[in-house]
C-alpha cells in the first residue's frame, strides 16, 4: 500500500530542516538553562564556567580549524576558474554592495542615536577593566597602517598564525611624561590568523592561475579539490552545532554579573543598537536586495536560519563561514561566486559592527554631556566604516576599533568600559546581521552575474556543475 503524499512531504521536510531546527532549539535551550542556573545557584567560579563552555569550545575550535584552508582554497579556486574580466566584475559588484550596506548601516545608526538620545540620563556603574586599559594604548594612525601592512604580508606561512601589530610603550625614565604620539614603538606579532593577508594572497594567486590557463590547471584542480574536501569536513562538523552553541550561550549567561542591573543601566542603549540592527537587516538590506533581484529576501533568510543560529552562538563571522558556503551551495548558488564573495565578506563586510560603533561613540558622548557638531558626526561615520573593515584583521578587534572611533569624537579610550557589560550579547546580534548580509550579498551578486557566468561557460564549452554537498537539488534558483 503506497504511503500518503503528506507523509512523504513531511519526511522530506524533516530531512531538509532537522539540523536547522536542532540548532535553533540549542540556542533557546542554552539561554534557558543559563538563566535557570544563574537565578537558582550562587556565583560560579571561572573554572566552573569553563567546564560548562567546554563542549562549545571544542565545536568552535573545529570550525576555526577549517577557516585557513577553506579560505585560501575557496578564493583561489573561485578566482582561478574565471578570467580576469569576470573576476573583476564579480569583485566590483560585491565591493559595491558591501560599501553601500556599510554606509547605510552607519547612517541608520547615527539617525537612531541622535533621535532617541539613549545617553541622556543613563546611570552606569563605571569599572576599570584591564582589557580596556590594554586596548587603549593604541594610536589610530598605527592601527590603520597595521591594517595595510597585514594586507600585504611578508610571510604567508606566518600569516596563518600571527598578525602584525605596532606596539607603543612609554619611556618611564623621562619626566614629565610624554604624550602617546611621542612614545617609542616596535613591531610585534599577535596570535591569530592574518585573514586580510591570506585573502589578498589568495586573490593574487587565483588571478595568476587563471592567466596561466592550461599550465595552471594542475594547481587549479588542487585548490578546487581542497575546497571540496573542506566542505565535506564541514558537513560532518555542523552536526555538533546544536550542542556547541547551546553550551556557549549557557556559559556566557552564567558569566554575566547581573542581567537585570545591566539592562537597567544600559537599557536605552541596548534598545537603540538592537532596533538599528533589526531595521538594517530586515529593512535596508531587504530593499537593496529587492532592487537588485526583484525578489524579497525573507524566503532566503528562512533557509539561512541554521547558519544565523550558529553565528549567534559562536559570535564569529569567520567561524561561521564554512557553514554559510555549504548552505548557499545547497540553494544552488554558483560556487565560483560563493567561494569568492563569502570569504571576502567575512573579512571586510561588518555592517553590524559599523552601526554598533557609530551608536556607541555618540551614546558615550551624550552620557558625558559632550556637544558634537555635524562635522563630528561625519567623522564618526568615516571612522566607523574604516574601523569595521579592519575589525577582522587586527588584534582585540572590538576594543581597538572602538578606541579609534572614540578618538575621533575626542573621548577617552577608557570610556569603552561604559558599554562593555552588554558588548558580548550585542556582539552576537551584530555578527548574525553581518553573516546574513554576506549571504544575501552573495545571492544578489550571483543573480547579477548569472548571464556573464553562462557566457564564460559557453566560451569554455564546459557547462559548470554546481557543487551541492548535502543538497537534494529541490530548490535551485
What confidence tens digit (pLDDT) does each residue in 203-254 have? 899 989 988 888 889 999 999 999 999 989 988 888 888 898 889 888 888 8
Confidence tier at 378 by pLDDT (50, 70, 90): confident
Q: What is the mean pLDDT of residues 160-173?
A: 80
CA–CA dist 255, 46 (Å, integer):
8
pLDDT at 111: 92
- Residue with the bigger pLDDT between 44 and 284: it is 284
Alpha helices in 241-304 (DSSP H): 241-255, 259-279, 285-293, 298-303
Q: What is the pLDDT of residues 406-424, one digit of tens each?
A: 877 777 777 777 787 777 7
Q: Mean pLDDT highest for which of 48-52, 85-89, 171-175, 377-381?
A: 48-52
Q: What grid cell was written down for 226?
A: 581542497
Is the pLDDT at 463 greater than 60, yes or no? no
Q: What is the mean pLDDT of residues 25-45?
A: 83
Cα separation, 419 vs 299, whole angstroms = 35
Q: Return the minimum-mean-pLDDT range out of 66-75, 86-95, 98-107, 415-424.
A: 415-424
**434 pLDDT more than 60:** yes
Cell numbers at 421, concatenated: 557589560
pLDDT tens-digit profile of 264-303? 667 888 899 999 999 999 999 999 999 999 999 999 998 8
Residue with cell 599550465: 215
Distance CA 423, CA 270 (A): 9
Closest by CA to 337, choosing from 175, 124, 97, is: 97
pLDDT of residue 352: 85
Task: Cis check for the bond before 442: say yes or no (omega within 30 of 0).
Answer: no
For 165, the 3-state DSSP assignment is: strand
Query: How many CA atoms lie within 13 Å of 343's alpha carbon, on the beta-carbon side?
Result: 30
- Give the β-pairing of 162-169 and 184-191: antiparallel
Per-residue pLDDT at 469 exceeds 70: no
| Tens digits of residue pLDDT in 314-362 | 888 888 888 899 899 889 898 889 988 998 888 787 888 888 888 888 8
Instruction: Give per-residue pLDDT as tens, 257-275.
Output: 666 666 666 788 889 999 9
Fold type of domain 16-125+139-449 = 1.10.3860
Task: Please tell me which residue, 315 or 403, carries the higher pLDDT value.
Answer: 315
Statement: residue 445 has pLDDT above 90? yes
Q: How far is CA 341 from CA 15, 49, 81, 438, in A?
A: 28, 37, 14, 8
pLDDT at 186: 84
Amino acid at each position: 500500500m503506497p504511503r500518503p503524499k503528506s507523509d512523504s512531504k513531511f519526511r522530506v521536510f524533516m530531512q531538509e530542516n532537522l539540523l536547522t531546527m536542532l540548532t535553533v532549539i540549542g540556542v533557546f535551550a542554552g539561554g534557558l538553562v543559563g538563566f535557570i542556573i544563574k537565578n537558582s545557584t550562587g556565583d560560579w567560579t571561572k573554572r566552573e564556567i569553563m567546564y560548562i563552555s567546554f563542549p562549545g569550545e571544542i565545536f568552535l575550535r573545529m570550525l576555526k580549524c577549517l577557516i585557513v584552508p577553506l579560505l585560501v582554497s575557496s578564493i583561489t579556486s573561485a578566482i582561478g576558474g574565471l578570467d580576469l574580466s569576470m573576476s573583476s566584475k564579480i569583485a566590483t559588484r560585491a565591493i559595491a554592495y558591501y560599501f553601500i550596506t556599510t554606509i547605510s548601516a552607519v547612517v541608520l545608526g547615527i539617525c537612531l542615536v541622535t533621535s532617541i538620545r539613549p545617553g541622556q540620563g543613563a546611570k552606569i556603574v563605571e569599572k576599570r577593566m584591564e582589557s580596556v586599559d590594554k586596548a587603549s594604548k593604541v594610536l589610530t594612525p598605527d592601527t590603520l597602517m597595521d591594517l595595510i601592512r597585514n594586507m600585504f604580508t611578508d610571510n604567508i606561512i606566518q600569516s596563518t598564525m600571527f598578525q602584525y601589530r605596532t606596539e607603543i610603550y612609554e619611556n618611564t625614565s623621562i619626566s614629565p611624561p610624554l604624550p602617546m604620539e611621542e612614545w617609542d614603538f616596535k613591531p610585534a606579532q599577535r596570535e591569530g590568523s592574518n585573514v586580510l593577508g591570506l585573502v589578498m594572497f589568495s586573490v593574487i594567486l587565483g588571478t595568476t592561475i587563471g592567466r596561466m590557463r592550461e599550465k595552471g590547471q594542475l594547481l587549479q584542480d588542487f585548490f578546487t579539490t581542497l575546497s571540496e574536501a573542506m566542505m565535506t569536513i564541514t558537513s560532518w562538523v555542523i552536526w555538533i552545532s546544536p550542542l556547541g552553541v547551546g553550551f556557549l550561550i549557557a556559559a556566557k549567561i552564567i558569566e554575566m554579573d547581573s542581567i537585570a542591573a545591566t539592562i537597567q543601566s544600559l537599557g536605552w542603549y541596548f534598545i537603540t543598537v538592537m532596533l538599528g540592527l533589526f531595521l538594517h537587516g530586515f529593512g535596508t538590506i531587504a530593499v537593496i536586495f529587492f532592487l537588485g533581484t526583484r525578489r524579497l529576501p525573507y524566503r532566503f533568510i528562512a533557509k539561512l536560519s541554521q547558519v544565523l543560529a550558529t553565528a549567534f552562538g559562536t559570535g564569529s563571522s569567520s567561524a561561521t563561514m564554512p557553514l554559510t558556503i555549504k548552505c548557499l551551495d545547497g540553494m544552488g548558488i554558483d560556487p565560483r561566486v560563493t567561494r569568492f564573495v563569502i570569504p571576502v565578506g567575512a573579512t571586510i563586510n561588518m555592517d553590524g559592527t559599523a552601526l554598533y560603533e557609530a551608536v556607541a561613540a555618540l551614546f558615550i558622548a551624550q552620557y558625558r554631556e559632550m556637544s558634537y557638531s555635524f562635522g563630528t558626526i561625519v567623522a564618526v561615520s568615516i571612522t566607523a566604516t574604516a574601523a569595521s573593515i579592519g575589525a577582522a584583521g587586527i588584534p582585540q578587534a572590538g576594543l581597538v576599533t572602538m578606541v579609534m572611533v572614540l578618538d575621533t569624537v575626542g573621548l577617552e579610550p577608557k570610556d569603552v568600559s561604559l558599554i562593555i557589560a552588554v558588548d558580548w550579547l550585542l556582539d552576537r546580534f551584530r555578527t548574525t546581521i553581518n553573516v546574513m548580509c554576506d549571504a544575501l550579498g552573495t545571492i544578489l551578486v550571483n543573480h547579477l552575474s548569472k548571464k556573464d557566468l553562462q557566457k564564460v561557460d559557453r566560451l569554455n564549452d564546459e557547462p559548470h556543475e554546481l557543487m551541492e554537498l548535502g543538497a537534494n537539488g529541490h530548490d535551485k534558483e
